[in-house]
Amino acid sequence: MELSALQIIWFALLAVLWIGYLTLEGFGFGTGMLLKILPRNEKERRLALNTIGPHWDGNEVFLLTAGGATFAAFPEWYATMFSGMYMALVAILIFLIIRISALEWRGKINSAGWRSMWDNLHTGVAWLVTLVWGVAFGNLVQGTEIQVGHYASRGGEFVPADPANIDSALAAGDQHFLTGGFVSLFTPYTLVGGVVFLLLFLTHGALWLSIKTKGEFHDRAIAMAKKLSLASTGLTAIWAVWGQFVYSGHLWGLIPLAIAAATLIGSTLAIQKGKDVSSFFLSFAGLAFAVVWVFSTFGVNAMKSSINSAYDLTLVQASATAPTQSVMLIAAIIFVPIVLGYTAWSYKSFAGRLGVENISDKPAGLDPKKVREFAQA
């Protein structure tokens, strides 16, 4: 069966949502990873956190919407991916909860130990969740050990379907399963993908801090971005060419790949000249087209099988019914522009640069000795 217009539209909408999440939260995670590296004192750490403070929770909307849209528009994709990558996705959820807690609770108590604990947790999970995202997207490009079949009622052994009769097997009730297990998600390609994401987000975060701050901190952010951009652009080029010619083969993928390469190289050249604003937006575009390239490697598939292409989960197989996608499209037409609108408004409203002089000398948070005074009232 050929893809319908609705299926193509929803596939494109999912790509847009992931572009929104990774380009916006990319610098948020990058800032978190640099929190214990770039700032030299408490005021500078507060300065770094204040640059993402108005935006991080709004950026998470893109992730929630992408997950919900996948569940509704391509339920079989959601089921196969979430069941096969269950441990990785649970890890991401736990990391994000810790990150949210660190951002919200850091300033609640005026204690150096309290702040240090949350900063360490924030930094640690920023590194970990970025690494997991990189491994996850690497698996989507490379393909995972997916098979069509069923588990025997006795013994629980997996019974794979005949690759020559997949349609009959699916009609008889067989399903797509990731049979390789959690360990199969880690290969040389996916691990390099994790490192690529780390470097890209670190660079994006350093560039964000450079355009949002002033003074000595701004200068250090630029110096950091100059070093990181060279490494991130170089390794990303190797990883993307590897994926394109070994795991994709779709010629149309060369277009977003070329644009991503040009913008990332442009970003690197711009920051070497100290043009932080131009470099940041070129980095933003580079990340966006890198996501487009990742989705281009799918072809007509939602998930590729590294065992046998006959086991690929196609978008048609993964799709919800046309009436479901039609009703959802009406909601998307109404609400996606609203989300994009308030996102643009929030960034415009907080477009100024900050310096350490904008950070109050007065310690934030409640005196630790008074935390439990309410219990004595």
> Directed axis angle between helix 56-73 and helix 322-349, to 10°?
170
Residue 180: pLDDT band (50, 70, 90) is confident
What is the CA angle 227-233-236, rounded to 5? 135
The amino acid sitting at 306 is S
* In the predicted structure, residue 372 carries a pLDDT above the cut 80: no
Helices then strands (H, E): number in the chain? Answer: 13, 5
Domain extents in the chain: 5-152+165-329
pLDDT computed for residue 375 by the predictor: 53
Among 177-186, 196-205, 348-357, the range of highest mean pLDDT: 196-205
pLDDT computed for residue 374 by the predictor: 57
Cα–Cα distance for residue pair 26/44, rounded to 1 Å: 20
Cα–Cα distance for residue pair 320/108, rounded to 1 Å: 45
* In the predicted structure, residue 251 carries a pLDDT above the cut 90: no
- Cβ atoms within 10 Å of 341's Cβ, excluding its own: 10
Cα–Cα distance for residue pair 281/204, rounded to 1 Å: 9
Given a contact cutoff of 8 angstroms between Cβ atoms, the answer to whether 45 and 39 are in contact is yes
Residue that is written with structure tokens 């935390």 in the block: 371
pLDDT computed for residue 339 by the predictor: 87
pLDDT (mean) for 37-52: 94
More confident residue, 376 or 340: 340
CA atoms within 13 A on the CB side of 328: 23
Residue 87 zone, left/alpha/beta (φ > 0; ψ -120 to 50; rest): alpha
Among 24-33, 154-163, 359-368, the range of highest mean pLDDT: 24-33
pLDDT computed for residue 377 by the predictor: 43
Q: 3-state DSSP call for residue 366?
A: strand
Given a contact cutoff of 8 angstroms between Cβ atoms, the answer to whether 107 and 264 are in contact is no
pLDDT (mean) for 112-137: 94
For the chain, what is the mean pLDDT?
A: 92
The answer, as to whether pTM is greater than 0.85, is yes
